[in-house]
Amino acid sequence: MAKKQFKAESKRLLDLMIHSIYSNREIFLRELVSNASDAIDKLCYRSLTDEGVGLSRGDFEIRITPDREGRTLTVSDNGVGMDKKSLEENLGTIARSGSLQFKQDIAGQEGADDTDIIGQFGVGFYSAFIVSDKVTVISRAYGEETGYKWQSSGADGYTIAECERSAPGTDVIMHLKPDTEDEQFGEFLEEYRLRQLVKKYSDYIRWPIKMLCHKTRPVEKPEGEEADDQAPAYESYEEDETLNSMVPIWHKPKGEVGEEDYAAFYKEKFGDYQDPLKSIRVSAEGLTASYEALLFIPARTPYNYYSADYEKGLQLYSSGVLIMEKCADLLPEHFRFVQGVVDSQDISLNISREMLQQDRQVRTIAQSLEKKIKRELSKLMEEDREKYEAFFAQFGLQLKYGVVGEYGAHKDLLADLLLFYSSTEGKPVTLKEYVSRMKEGQEHIYYACADSVEKAANLPQTEYVRDKGWEVLYLTDEVDEFVMQVLHEQDGHELKSVSDADTVSEEEKKAAEEETKAHGELLDFLKEALKDKVSDVRISPKLGSHPVSLTSEGGVTLEMEKYFAQMKM
């Protein structure tokens, strides 16, 4: 039987494809700029071996031209261009990438490492149809005398005709869709919007992206004319502007970038008005993934940090193109306060680019970043304790949540980063520091939980331990007690609450028991009077100067009981 062909409404299929791949229509500019950059890379690569190119590195440029009257937006480049055949093959075939082919062809050859080809899926070009109802491409291939005009209104097909172009390169002319009540396409003709999109997605494309921009300046008064009080007159003029920074700050040699530069970058990029507490620059080469990163620890907890609004993650770039604004998988929960950017050529992208393939490279980078952040925090603790304490005051709670979260899986990583207020030092200390000061005969590490340092210090049980000359850690965060339970020990010394019975010696215990027997009647009376409120009344060896002490029995301390009661556990 003869096989029948499937029929598809090709226009609708293209629409479907475009809209399901791209969640965000503004990315069309990123895609066309990336193609222009690839085309320049190709010609530049060619110029290494072909003197006929006649252009040097400084001559290459990408140009964006909005035309409000004609309602078109044009992206031009003076790159390698396309001849008739490659227009048909590359633009006429969905999912065909001439750039991927190019990358494979030159792999291993001299100069290949110096290219930075972005294209690989062969669908980016079609994103022009998200915003246009017609696209015209005028291109002249390097080495050809004539140009060609490719034109299409979507998947109905395309036409190709010869045309003039004075030099090799390509213009992609988008005839923008009309504005409707729901959708405005005219915004893509506005200078500020184009500037914004280039900054957002294509800031680190390594070729200049230029646009003729409208500006105003005060009119200069002819010499000798009287200055008057009237507002100065302005005149408007046009000037070419390069919209992108081209070289990312994390690619600049370390010696050329100062703390102030990093701080300025951080404030602009992440919308903070304060300098970061610390910036961390990472450059890593590995087997599965090489990457560069620039990380920041904010000076303050963002106002929405402990709410559902706060989104953790790092900005992810690949070959200078923004792929994802907040890549959450790059940061573990316990370091979710870290801001920054990661740039790697090695990550595998999904055709949408917004969606990463959940892969090994991202995991490898995340693990390496986690270690780096830990190392930098430890270093800060050693080298600038005051600054570390300021950091801990802001984000210490997050580290503590990190210790108790995920069944304590991260406790070893985080334990040395924790600080607790010390009775003897009068300031926050680490568990290691506590251990280094432990007295002869002291076996355990002691802590007392309360709402405040004062209250913890005034507990009878605290006084009892302190009277032995031992240091006590005053814990005031609700989560602290869980942290202690999860950590369990430090350098072989158990972490114990001051209310733990173990603190009492055998003789003290015996003495208290005898006292309890001797005052049986009084205790019975108290038990009867408080019968709904307490389970037992005893004479305690740990009263110190206090008349009474409340304590709980079993693994749960009073503070924890309060916590459970609050959480209705």
Footprint of ligand ADP on this chain (CB under 6 A)? 31, 35-36, 39, 77, 79-82, 90-91, 97-100, 119-125, 170
The DSSP bridge pattern shows strands 493-497 and 445-449 to be: parallel
Residues in the chain: 569
DSSP 8-class letter at 218: E
Rounded to a whole number of angstroms, the minimum distance from the CB of residue 419 to Mg ion is: 50
The residue among 100 and 543 lying less far from ligand ADP, judged by its C-beta, is 100
Rounded to a whole number of angstroms, the minimum distance from the CB of residue 445 to ligand ADP is: 59
- End-to-end, the C-alpha distance of the chain in Å comes to 70
SS3 18: helix
* 173 binding partner (options Mg ion, ligand ADP, none; Cβ < 5 to 8 Å by kind): none
428 binds Mg ion (CB under 5 A): no
Rounded to a whole number of angstroms, the minimum distance from the CB of residue 47 to ligand ADP is: 15
> Which run of H or E residues covers position 311?
none
119 binds Mg ion (CB under 5 A): yes
For residues 188 and 30, the answer to whether their CB atoms sit within 8 Å is: no
- Candidate ranges 5-13, 28-36, 371-379, 560-568; the one touching Mg ion (CB under 5 A): 28-36
* 82 binding partner (options ligand ADP, Mg ion, none; Cβ < 5 to 8 Å by kind): ligand ADP
Rounded to a whole number of angstroms, the minimum distance from the CB of residue 89 to ligand ADP is: 8
DSSP string, 124-189: GGGGHHHHEEEEEEEEE-TT-SSEEEEEESSTT-EEEEEE--SSSEEEEEEEEPPP-SS---GGGG
Rounded to a whole number of angstroms, the minimum distance from the CB of residue 135 to ligand ADP is: 11
The residue among 97 and 318 lying less far from ligand ADP, judged by its C-beta, is 97
* 197 binding partner (options Mg ion, ligand ADP, none; Cβ < 5 to 8 Å by kind): none
35 binds Mg ion (CB under 5 A): yes
The residue among 174 and 399 lying less far from Mg ion, judged by its C-beta, is 174
Query: Could you tell me which residues come within 8 angstroms of residue 154 by beta carbon, excluding any fewer than 6 positions away?
Result: 11, 14, 15, 129, 133
The residue among 97 and 557 lying less far from ligand ADP, judged by its C-beta, is 97
Rounded to a whole number of angstroms, the minimum distance from the CB of residue 185 to ligand ADP is: 20
Distance of alpha carbon 209 from alpha carbon 388, whole angstroms: 42
CB atoms within 10 A of CB 498: 26
The residue among 28 and 266 lying less far from ligand ADP, judged by its C-beta, is 28
Give how many residues touch Mg ion by CB under 5 A: 3
Distance of alpha carbon 566 from alpha carbon 245, whole angstroms: 53
Closest CA to 467 of 526, 407, 424, 406: 424
For residues 411 and 418, the answer to whether their CB atoms sit within 8 Å is: no
The residue among 102 and 266 lying less far from Mg ion, judged by its C-beta, is 102
Rounded to a whole number of angstroms, the minimum distance from the CB of residue 369 to ligand ADP is: 28
Show the tokens assigned to 509. Answer: 């215990």
CA 326 to chain centre: 5
122 binds Mg ion (CB under 5 A): no
* 170 binding partner (options Mg ion, ligand ADP, none; Cβ < 5 to 8 Å by kind): ligand ADP
* 97 binding partner (options ligand ADP, Mg ion, none; Cβ < 5 to 8 Å by kind): ligand ADP
The residue among 47 and 170 lying less far from ligand ADP, judged by its C-beta, is 170
Closest CA to 163 of 93, 52, 83: 83
* 475 binding partner (options Mg ion, ligand ADP, none; Cβ < 5 to 8 Å by kind): none
Closest CA to 148 of 135, 160, 166, 132: 160
490 binds Mg ion (CB under 5 A): no
C-alpha distances (whole Å) from 441 to each of 102, 233, 438, 474 are: 73, 85, 9, 21
C-alpha distances (whole Å) from 135 to each of 131, 175, 251 are: 10, 6, 36
- Candidate ranges 32-40, 280-288, 359-367, 438-446; the one touching Mg ion (CB under 5 A): 32-40
Rounded to a whole number of angstroms, the minimum distance from the CB of residue 190 to ligand ADP is: 23
The residue among 121 and 305 lying less far from Mg ion, judged by its C-beta, is 121
- Backbone CA torsion sign across 328, 331, 332, 333: negative
Rounded to a whole number of angstroms, the minimum distance from the CB of residue 126 to ligand ADP is: 6
SS3 508: helix
The residue among 102 and 464 lying less far from ligand ADP, judged by its C-beta, is 102
72 binds Mg ion (CB under 5 A): no
- Candidate ranges 13-21, 39-47, 116-124, 479-487; the one touching Mg ion (CB under 5 A): 116-124
The residue among 136 and 170 lying less far from ligand ADP, judged by its C-beta, is 170
The residue among 98 and 147 lying less far from ligand ADP, judged by its C-beta, is 98
170 binds Mg ion (CB under 5 A): no
Binding site for Mg ion (CB under 5 A): 35, 119, 124
